[in-house]
Amino acid sequence: MSQIDQLFQRLRDSGRKAFMPFVTAGDPDLQFTAAVLRELVARGSSMCELGITYSDPVADGPTIQASYTRALEKHVKLAAIFEMLGGLTPELAAPVVTMLSYAIVYRRGPQRYVASAKAAGAAGAIIPDLPVEESDALVEICRREDFSLIQLITPTTPRDRALRIAEQTTGFIYYVSVTGITGEREALPQEIIDNVGWLREQTPLPICIGFGISRAEHVRMLSPVADGLIVGSAIVRRVAETASKPRAEVLSEIGEYVAELLAAM
């Protein structure tokens, strides 16, 4: 079993849901990224997603796009991200997965990317721009290495294609709550519940919901139907406040925000 398989088994056994925050690697720098990951796990996060910076947004809204731009302007490199992660993951009581463009995997080479990510302690990868029709080779590598390849299903994914994506996914399915890009929203569509309910009947994989989740009421709405909830832009926006606030204050505010959402699960 992969690290993520083991995580969801523990959560099921204890009747709990996964809380999965996202942070951008290197914004404002890798030292603070490590501090945020420590804080997120200390507050009770089940798993963390680490965004690997890329120049062309895949499904990212303006908040995450801006964080990628800031990190790229500081020339944050993949090797440095993996070095930071390798020194950090042994002390974290939660797995970390990378979220990145397939262009980065392709340029490094799929086998080499998976090996490097595993060596750094990463438990899997989320690759939003990898079409299921082109994923066979990477799926095979990831299955062989017990490295979870988490794929996305959206509200507009045809059901026959959603089934194929589920068959090619390991770890958990990332269900996108809304059509469009990441970002905080006032409200989420009620049809998420029906869509996730249908998907649950088709696959034994855990289903985690992301995009737009930022408030306790979102958490209360979706927790009953999801195995986990993913929160990104609201955390990334708070990280950006390091430009005008002391880092310790920002770190505390992030921790308090996460604790508020966890209390609603």
User: 178 by DSSP, 3-state: which?
Assistant: coil
- CATH at 57: 3.20.20.70
pLDDT for 181: 45
* Among 27, 39, 49, 184, the one annotated catalytic: 49
pLDDT for 37: 98
Mean pLDDT by 10 residues, the chain (265 residues): 95 96 97 98 98 78 88 94 97 97 96 97 96 95 97 93 96 82 51 89 95 88 93 94 96 97 95
Rounded Cα distance, 238 and 39, in Å? 13
* Among 29, 39, 60, 227, the one annotated catalytic: 60
pLDDT for 142: 97
Q: Give the chain's domain count.
A: 1
Based on the residue annotation, tell me whether 29 is a catalytic residue of this protein: no
Q: Check if the beta carbon of residue 233 is closer than 8 Å to that of residue 63.
A: yes
Buried b (16+ CB within 10 A) or exposed e, 214-243: bbeebbebbbebbbbbbbbbbbbbbbbebe
Domain that includes residue 44, residue range: 3-263
Based on the residue annotation, tell me whether 194 is a catalytic residue of this protein: no
